[in-house]
Amino acid sequence: MHVFYAQGGGLGHLTRIDALIKLLKIKPNEVVIITPSLFVTYFNYRFVNLSWKTPAIIWTNIVLDYIKHHNITTFYVDAFPFGLKGELIPVYKKHSTLNYVYISRILKWPFYLDTIQPNIKITFNKTLLLEKLYNIHYNWILQHSKSIESLNIFACKPQKSKPLLASPHIIIVHSGGKNDVIKLCDFVVKNENLEQNITVFVFTQVNIKYNHAQFKILTNFYPVSIYFKHAEKIYTGCGFNVVHELKAYKTKHVMLPFEKLYDDQHFRKTAVNTKI
């Protein structure tokens, strides 16, 4: 059994895990994902659901209980090596010999460590390096992982493409929150000549209203990568998934980095074309 611990309430963590599972050719029936995400219905895996409303000790106990009652081959930890709130520290202490794999992406490393203040030395059997990191984060991985493997989990282009319109159109992709989606819409209005008869499709997972006749809000569409090829331009934030998915379309991809608690989107925008 391959267990993936994916902390995050949005769609991004699950999209990344799904791409990784497919790249590693792990059979879906051998996968369990432990997550508080609300978007589990988009994926055909078994899930153990966490609740944002419960304290971190409850998350710890759910993980410990699952390990106790199941034969786990590998335990994958996405993004936050000690958990979002340090909830994995007791897990590492009790099950120190389990095969742990760290899935690394950009993290505001000093801030994360100051927040968690881990009191344990963990050694991962392997770290999967998905993009260029802060040097201080990468150096920590060198000291706490037996091996490192660099992966491009979105290396393969979508096998199919589908135009939204036969005429030229622009796509905005951002699952949420609402304020960031609105900022992207405003950014398009400011930077594009929308006097022409061009439609702007906004793919999001939040319900918003935008008072502009040429904007069409599309919620609950997934995946949206099948629409990339035919768009004139694609506007997004600088989250991990969309930035790396759109490398093949970088000539028409416009990125607007947002401020996030742990994810450094400004760093990613600069580092995205750097070889890892």
pTM for the model stands at: 0.94
Q: Give pLDDT tens digits for 102-112.
A: 999 999 999 99
Percent of residues, the chain, with pLDDT higher than 90 = 89
Q: What is the mean pLDDT of residues 171-185?
A: 95
Q: What is the mean pLDDT of residues 253-267?
A: 97
| pLDDT interval class at 142 (50, 70, 90) | very high
Q: Give pLDDT tens digits for 70-109.
A: 999 999 999 999 999 999 999 999 999 999 999 999 999 9
Ordered alpha helix ranges (H), the chain? 12-24, 56-69, 89-94, 109-116, 135-144, 178-191, 240-245, 265-271
User: What domains can you pick out in the chain, each with its CATH number?
Assistant: 2-150 (3.40.50.11190), 169-271 (3.40.50.2000)
**Contact predicate 230/200, CB 8 Å:** no
Handedness of CA 204, 210, 215, 216 (dihedral sign): positive
